[in-house]
Amino acid sequence: MTFIQTSPVSHAQHHAHPVMGSLHGMEIALEFGTPASQQAQAAVAGVAEFSAFTRFAVKGAGAAEWLGAQGMELPAAANSWLMQDSTLVLRLGNSEYLLEDQFVAGHASRLAQGSAPVGAKLYPVARSDAALVLSGQHALSILAEICALDVAAELANNQRLLMTQVANISVTLLSQTLNGKTLYRLWCDGTYGPYLWHELTAMAQEFGGGPVGLSFYFK
Partner 1 sequence: MKLLTCPVNGTRPLSEFVFGGEMRNMPDPAQASDSAWAAYVYNRTGAPGLKKEWWFHSPSGTWFVAERNTLTDQVARTYLYGQEDKA
User: Which positions lie near partner 1, rule CB under 8 A?
Assistant: 78-79, 92-94, 148-149, 162-165, 168, 170-172
Q: Three-state DSSP class for 25?
A: coil
Nearer to partner 1, 45 or 63 (CB): 63
Least Å distance, CB 190 to partner 1, is 16
Give whichever of 43 and 149 is closer to partner 1, judged by the CB atom. 149
Tell me the pairing of strands 210-211 and 46-49: parallel
What are the residues facing 169 on neighbouring strands? 166
Distances (CA, A) of 186 to 15, 24, 162, 167: 22, 19, 10, 12
Relative orientation angle of helices 139-146 and 35-45, to the nearest 10 degrees? 50
Taking the complex as a whole, how short is the minimal distance between the CB of residue 165 and partner 1, in angstroms?
Answer: 5
Residue number with CB closer to partner 1 (39 or 165):
165
DSSP string, 154-190: HTSSTTB-EEEEETTEEEEEEEEEETTEEEEEEEEEG
CB of 55 to partner 1, least distance (A): 17
| DSSP code per residue over 66-89 | HHHHTT----SSSSEEEEETTEEE
Cα separation of 83 and 74, whole Å? Answer: 9
- Of 42 and 63, nearer to partner 1 (C-beta) is 63
Q: Compute the least distance from the CB of residue 15 to partner 1, in Å.
A: 29
- Distance in Å, CB of 162 to partner 1, minimum: 8
Nearer to partner 1, 32 or 81 (CB): 81
